[in-house]
Structure 1
Amino acid sequence: MARKFEIIEKDWYKRRTILGKDIKPVHVAIPDYQPVHNYICNMIVSYDDDSLKTLIARVLYNELTSKWTVDGMEVSVMVIEMSNENAGDMFNRQVG
């Protein structure tokens, strides 16, 4: 089962450069992700200014919505489980 991490927008935190320009996260990778509540993992975030940052994050399961999220404080993502067929289509769209 392939996983996609969708960034959750946070209005309360804004990372800015010295010039005052907003820097937004554009991609998140979590190489050691495990669907275990309160599991601690590494979140690698790439920003639109081509910078990278590694955050210590926590995996959370919401019993009310039956959804997994990963919270790195500065950046949070929602975990989307995809079948292998959908994952192949997504890869082809990104590469092609």
Structure 2
Amino acid sequence: MLRPGHVLDAEDTREIIELAKKVCGIKDDPFERFRGDPAGLRKFLKAENRREREEIRTEERERSRKLRNLERRVKYAQRQVHAMIHPRPPRPEMDGPVIVVVDPR
């Protein structure tokens, strides 16, 4: 096995990787199936990036929707407070019956 001053060669590295896989429960390298197939790897990575971008876009849409709703609520509350501080003057038709006189000339 390994001893102090031992230089790792490719076989030792493979053994260490296999041991680590067994200990950690890792089944296989996710890119191992693309070894020797660069076009397949490129296609896989493009799909992966597309999924990640879509997730980011979805999160941004949700965040902006929450922000718009919050802004709408704040604006509504500001209008309510403004209406309490500055009430509108009563309209004349709300004071009572309006008497209209027609001049018969």
TM above 0.5, yes or no, is no
Higher relative contact order (CA 8 A, sep 6+): 1
Place the TM-score, normalised by the shorter chain, in its bin.
under 0.3
The structure with the largest helix share of the pair is 2
TM-score (norm 2): 0.23
